[in-house]
Amino acid sequence: MDKLIITAAICGAEVTKEQNPAVPYTVEEIVREAKSAVDAGAAIVHLHVRHDDGTPTQSRERFQECEEAILKECPNVILIPSTGGAVGMSPEERLQSTDTTPLPEMATLDCGTCNFGDEIFDNTMPTMRAFGKRMLERGIKPEYECFEMGHLETIVRMAQRGEVPGSPMQFNFVLGVLGCAAATVDNLVWMVKNIPAGSTWTATGIGRHAFTLAAPAIVMGGNVRVGFEDNLYLERGVLAKSNGELVDKVVRMAKLLGREVANSDEAREILSLKR
């Protein structure tokens, strides 16, 4: 079994300081949270960016500024910028995160339209083709974000047709979003059983499911994502003081379950990345 890759989704686009004062908005706060996660054992930082007032943005300039600042403090970390952005952003706006210099090693690619709480997260087939074309042209490896069973089947067919990058594929199964597939072990097992041979995968449990989904993922040989984007609490009623606290809990779980944790270079090898 490969070592466990831990991803820290440090701020997302929706959570606020009103919900948890440690949620980062400014460049300095984003760097602080990235470093806390890496120091605790995260090999990957999944990155959204904000304006200083907390407003989500996909500005190329803001991504450039944040990525440079993070890499100054954590020079070996793998960065996965979001192309999801926030609900309501246009595809062109969302793709700005793939325009930084140097180009990102990886970026997210959302695999279908779905309900997202009371809103609709719009990812049409033409949008996915355009994102896939961009990543094929620029040599960026996608992390395929699947919120539903149909998302997995759709993106695998697209890869078979050469519309998005193919083998080896990396999937992130985001379970527990209100309106999407529930964060159950049954759903996770189904998704893992239906990925192409040679693929890698990560499990993300939303809210109270963050650690109950992490445990089976660790045992099944998958990888784990945690962070303020997905969950603000260390345990019931206890707000996490940093992303590092959330990562550290996964590290401790992995140790108890007998699984070693990968550093960023080991993660690159597992994910077949070329730096």
pLDDT of residue 275: 63
Low-confidence ranges of the chain (pLDDT < 50): none
Query: The tokens of 247 are what?
Result: 């990562």
Report the alpha-carbon distance of residue 22 to residue 88 in Å, rounded.
26
pLDDT of residue 274: 77
Residue bearing tokens 């930082």: 45
Domains and CATH numbers, the chain: 6-270 (3.20.20.70)
Q: Which residues contact 89 (CB under 8 A, 6 or more apart)?
A: 58
Distances from the Cα of 36 to the Cα of 173, 191, 247, 252, 263, angstroms: 24, 31, 9, 16, 14
Report the alpha-carbon distance of residue 264 to residue 120 in Å, rounded.
34
Report the alpha-carbon distance of residue 120 to residue 185 in Å, rounded.
25
Asked if residues 206 and 176 have their Cβ atoms less than 8 Å apart, the reply is: yes
pLDDT of residue 14: 94
Question: What pLDDT digit, counting tens, does each position of 199-209 carry?
Answer: 999 999 999 99
- Look up the pTM and report it: 0.98
The secondary structure of 203-247 as a DSSP string is EEE-GGGHHHHHHHHHHHT-EEEESTTT--EEETTEE-SSHHHHH
